[in-house]
Structure 1
Amino acid sequence: MKTAPRRRWLALAMLGVALCACTSILPPASRHARWLDAGHRDAAEGYAAYLRSEGVGDIVPAAALARTARRWRLCGNREFDVPPPALQANMPPTLRLVARLRDAGIVDPQRARSVYRDPAMNTCAGGSARSKHLENRAIDFDLPKRGDNVERLCAFWREHGQALDMGLGFYTPTAIHIDTAGYRTWGEDHSWRTSLCTAG
């Protein structure tokens, strides 16, 4: 008698896993559309309108700009978010920097992987307590597959970074962080000594 409820529970659990798997294999644009339809459209459209008013609305695609963290699946499936209105004005300088890096052929805006993170998401994602993602000033990218990525990015940082308040961090040679919160660079241990622009 006790096995029937247990089988029912197991069947429901397996169905839940299957539904979760189906959702996670949808392309990002489809997942973003679902997220918008789940009650986030007004906030997302308000933020998009603000960015357009600043002339930076078309630099990073909306789905990529709403990404919270690379590890979103481990953090409650909160793949997308909209920064609160008080933080929205922090993003245009970073988007202008991204446009310059895009025009130089260094960064592909569609490959943005992490933008605004609230404190809970930042903690789950392993971010620093002083992370510029908390301020909506930072974007993490995966770099296109080019052998000279690091060399070109570091050359740009040395030439233009100080004037642009450019922060440049390297998680790996192809996973990077960009912000406009001060001229600095760092590497895997969060110090300038391990930055690929200063190491060696």
Structure 2
Amino acid sequence: MIRAVVLAVVLFASAAQAEPSFFDWLDAAPGRRAEVAALQRYLDKTHVGDVLGPEDLLRNASSWRSCGLGYPWSMPPRELWPHVVPTLRFIRDQVIPEIGPVMVESGWREPKLNACAGGAPRSAHALYYALDLVPQDMITRRELIATVCRLHARKGKGYNIGLGFYDGVRFHIDSKAYRRWGSDNHGKTSPCSTFTG
């Protein structure tokens, strides 16, 4: 009996922590499917519609649950859509050919979520310039840093790209401004500055 109760509690806790489905989020608000379709049409028109699918592109932040959001996706306002286009071009033209496909961990953050996640009020995430990514293919942190830092050195200025690194293989790309930083958000700690090989 005790074993059955423990198992039921474990299963309930696991179900409570399970991520809701993207389709549940699409259906949770009237007009959301139409708005997502409009974003896809806009990205197709700007020739970046095939870089990332909407389930990836609309991820808000990995802290969505602890920040009190019901879903890990958010719909950015239309006036911000142009901001992500150069970011997607850089990912398509430079990042994916070098490290393979990527998944989004964090994209546009509405103001409350951005503040909860520790972002500045006018952060690149709050304005939809930024995507935090992780490679889908196996790669070491050292290999990732070497590859992405070389890309940033060669092509980052031309694309106006900001590059940041977090722990592990999570990294940040934005097209708000050309710059780079490390896990403490300072340029001096960018692994690109100290990477030797």
For the 8 Å contact 2:95–2:148, the answer to whether it is kept is no
Match of 2:86 among 93, 96, 109: 93
Task: Return the alpha-carbon distance in structure 1 between the equivalents of residues 82 and 165 of structure 2.
Answer: 25
Residues 59/23 of structure 1: CA separation in 2 closer, same or farther (3 Å cut): farther
Task: Return the alpha-carbon distance in structure 2 between the equivalents of residues 73 and 198 of structure 1.
Answer: 34
- Supply the AA of the counterpart residue of 1:117: R
Task: Return the alpha-carbon distance in structure 2 between the equivalents of residues 96 and 23 of structure 1.
Answer: 37
Does 2:47 match 1:51?
Answer: no
Q: For structure 1, list consecutive stretches of 5 or more residues without a partner in the other structure.
A: 1-13
CA apart distance, 1:21? 4.5
CA apart distance, 1:105? 2.8
Q: For structure 2, list consecutive stretches of 5 or more residues without a partner in the other structure.
A: 1-7
Task: Return the alpha-carbon distance in structure 1 between the equivalents of residues 185 and 37 of structure 2.
Answer: 35
Task: Return the alpha-carbon distance in structure 2 between the equivalents of residues 37 and 134 of structure 1.
Answer: 24
Which secondary structure state, in structure 1, belongs to the residue aligned with residue 193 of structure 2?
coil
For the 8 Å contact 2:165–2:171, the answer to whether it is kept is yes
User: Which residue does the alignment assign to 2:166?
Assistant: 171
Aligned length: 181
User: Which residue does the alignment assign to 1:66?
Assistant: 58
User: Which residue does the alignment assign to 1:104?
Assistant: 97
Does 2:170 match 1:180?
Answer: no
For the 8 Å contact 1:167–1:179, the answer to whether it is kept is yes
For the 8 Å contact 1:165–1:183, the answer to whether it is kept is yes
CA apart distance, 1:156? 0.5
Match of 1:117 among 109, 118, 135: 109
User: Which residue does the alignment assign to 2:156?
Assistant: 161
The structure whose Rg is larger is 1
Task: Return the alpha-carbon distance in structure 1 between the equivalents of residues 46 and 182 of structure 2.
Answer: 32
Superposition RMSD in Å: 2.2
Residues 113/107 of structure 1: CA separation in 2 closer, same or farther (3 Å cut): farther
User: Which residue does the alignment assign to 1:80?
Assistant: 73
Task: Return the alpha-carbon distance in structure 2 between the equivalents of residues 124 and 107 of structure 1.
Answer: 31
Task: Return the alpha-carbon distance in structure 2 between the equivalents of residues 105 and 31 of structure 1.
Answer: 30
User: Which residue does the alignment assign to 1:193?
Assistant: 188
Which secondary structure state, in structure 1, belongs to the residue aligned with residue 194 of structure 2?
coil
CA apart distance, 1:131? 1.2
Q: TM-score, normalised by structure 2?
A: 0.83
User: Which residue does the alignment assign to 2:26?
Assistant: 36
CA apart distance, 1:197? 0.3
